[in-house]
Structure 1
Amino acid sequence: MVIRKMEPADIDAVSTLCMAAFNASVAPTLPAQGIETFAKVAAAEAFLQRLQGDNLMLVYEDAGSLRGILELKEGRHLAMLFIDPEHQRQGIGQALVTAMTAHARVDPITVRASLTSVGAYLRYGFQCSGEPGEFAGLTYQPMELQVTRPGQARP
């Protein structure tokens, strides 16, 4: 197992993994507009464009296959966290979140969690930070993760 920065060669596999995880758990809860919005965000071209920006993209690789993806925008907002549906509940999400915190530039890190993923984010240490919302057909729960604990210095 290795967690590393995403490379351009990973883009197609990452896009496929995100769509598989989204279709398995999130898509059934959304209207067609939300599914269409997410498909654009998870398209290979969109990932490639964001890879050129101020986004940290980490992949979890095991036995030569990608099992998870995490995207941290501007060191402050968790934009994507998806685990291969066949490998969920094996600690991959927690490992990616832990790796991400070393790259945080602000405290707390925020996320707009899909409603189906709130339980997972709570297990990762996030807390709800507002009322559920909706944007372009995607429903979400605002959440945040305190990177530093009282008495600790920022990473």
Structure 2
Amino acid sequence: MEAQIVSKNDLSSIHALVKEVATLDVLPLLNTQGQNEFLTHLFVSKQSQGTGVGHFILSHLLSSTDVAEVSLRSSVNAMSFYEKHGFVATGPESEFNGIRFVPMTLQIAP
């Protein structure tokens, strides 16, 4: 997958999607990028954070794949959540189109 520059129209659409997702509690998506699995989206609404919803969804996603490694780009605020689940930072904090993230990876035992 190739990263592309986001236009103002894209940003409006992304904002609308995130706003809608926030009212629905969660949006997980696990897809392939390269040879590894890549978790592209795992959102939990503010009011549902800390209730175990994220843990349940992440555990289910991880148990549904047979790969040895799962990678993601964690928001800076979500790093501790992923660290609790065994993910480790694989690079420094970065920014793409104004969104700060830290690349993280989880090695899954066979």
Q: Same fold (TM over 0.5)?
A: yes
Give the gaps of 5 or more residues in structure 2: 1-5, 18-22
- 1:86 paired residue among 47, 50, 55: 47
Structure (1/2) with the larger strand percentage: 2
Q: Give structure 1 regions of 4+ aligned residues with deviation exceeding 3 angstroms.
A: 36-44
Q: 1:140 to 1:38 in 2, by over 3 A?
A: farther
Distance in 2, Cα, partners of 1:107 & 1:42: 33
Distance in 2, Cα, partners of 1:81 & 1:114: 10
**Pairs aligned (count):** 96
Match of 2:29 in 1: 71
Q: 1:66 to 1:43 in 2, by over 3 A?
A: closer
Give the gaps of 5 or more residues in structure 1: 1-32, 45-64
Match of 1:102 in 2: 63
Q: 1:40 to 1:66 in 2, by over 3 A?
A: closer
Query: How far 1:67 moved relative to its partner?
Result: 3.0
Query: How far 1:77 moved relative to its partner?
Result: 0.5
Aligned 8 A contact 1:113 1:140 in 2: yes
Identity %: 24
TM-score, length-normalised on structure 1? 0.52
Query: How far 1:104 moved relative to its partner?
Result: 2.5
TM-score, length-normalised on structure 2? 0.71
One-letter identity of the residue aligned with 2:69:
P
